[in-house]
Structure 1
Amino acid sequence: MNSTPAAVASALTFVWLGMVLGISFLEAPLKFRAPGVTIPVGLGIGRIVFRALNIAETVLVLAVVALVATGTPTTSVVVPVTVTALVLAVQLAVVRPRLNRRSDAVLAGEDPALRRSRAHLYYVALETVKVLSLIALGCALLSA
């Protein structure tokens, strides 16, 4: 890969990584510990924050894939960029709609304990895979 697109793609990858770590692994669990934040309020905030994150992630994945495609990337770049893109696609197309349906029900007044969902666990597992693939991608791009 040409060094300039690789450097830009690496920078974007690490910005993306920071956003995911900051929002998914810090903001999301901590907001429910703040005084006065009820489950409906926390869900409302979370929906807004994650919608913004997912829009930013979509822009970032498109930019990184475009930058990677401008060169002749090695397997050490292609594999993590593909994994990252696929994980994001699954999160947006499969898991987020399930989470939205559950939060819609809670926001409509349903008791959250009545309708447990594993979608949250799937989302966290996918976020963990995405974090690991972003680290691998960023490091591979630094070496490109």
Structure 2
Amino acid sequence: MNPGLAVATAVTFVWLGIVLAISFLETPLKFRAPEVTLRVGLGIGRVVFRALNAAEVALAVALVVAGALGGASGRVAAGGAIAVVILAVQVGAVRPALARRTDRVLAGEDPPRSRGHHAYIGLEVTKVLALLVTGALLLAS
């Protein structure tokens, strides 16, 4: 495997691991911890997801650059592009809506439940699948 594709493979699996650890492990468990109220959980979540998304953007850039330098196949590029587009939608559209609701909760309001969380979770599952496929294709290269 050429160095560019090796880096792209590593970046893909690091990105996948971070998403799985935060979105599917830390986030649901946080709200089961004793003494963690909705307000505290949302405050923590805001900080954690801001850091997660910043790391994801850096990893997305690294994946695109490494894939391009390594001459990634069209299928690898498509899988990576799906993950990158999903991240852009999450950061550009879904997270801002969720942040507005979080602002209201943290201000002491009781806004109605948001379907934005369901959209974010659906996008997160799709992104995980795209990263798995991308990583598998890179390993097979």
Q: Smaller-chain TM-score range?
A: over 0.9
- Measure how far apart 1:34 and its partner are: 0.3
| Local SS of the residue matching 2:84 | helix
Work out whether 1:131 is the aligned partner of 2:124.
no
Alpha-carbon distance between aligned partners in 1 of 2:28 and 2:21, rounded to the nearest angstrom: 11
Partner of 2:34: 35
Q: Residue type matched to 2:98 in 1?
A: L
Alpha-carbon distance between aligned partners in 2 of 1:57 and 1:121, rounded to the nearest angstrom: 20
Q: Residue type matched to 2:128 in 1?
A: V
Alpha-carbon distance between aligned partners in 2 of 1:142 and 1:61, rounded to the nearest angstrom: 18
Q: Residue deviations 1:75-117, cap 9 Å, x none?
A: 2201101100100000000000000000000000012xx4121
Q: Residue type matched to 1:86 in 2?
A: V
Partner of 2:90: 91
Structure 1, unaligned stretches of length 5 or more?
none
Identity %: 55
Partner of 2:23: 24
| Structure-1-length-normalised TM-score | 0.95
- Measure how far apart 1:15 and its partner are: 0.8
- Larger relative contact order, structure 1 or 2 (CA cutoff 8 Å, min sep 6): 1
- Measure how far apart 1:72 and its partner are: 2.7
Alpha-carbon distance between aligned partners in 2 of 1:15 and 1:71, rounded to the nearest angstrom: 18
Q: Residue deviations 1:5-53, cap 9 Å, x none?
A: 1111101110110100000001111101000000000000000000000
Q: Residue type matched to 1:115 in 2?
A: P
Work out whether 1:75 is the aligned partner of 2:74.
yes
| Local SS of the residue matching 1:110 | coil
| Structure-2-length-normalised TM-score | 0.97
Alpha-carbon distance between aligned partners in 2 of 1:17 and 1:74, rounded to the nearest angstrom: 20
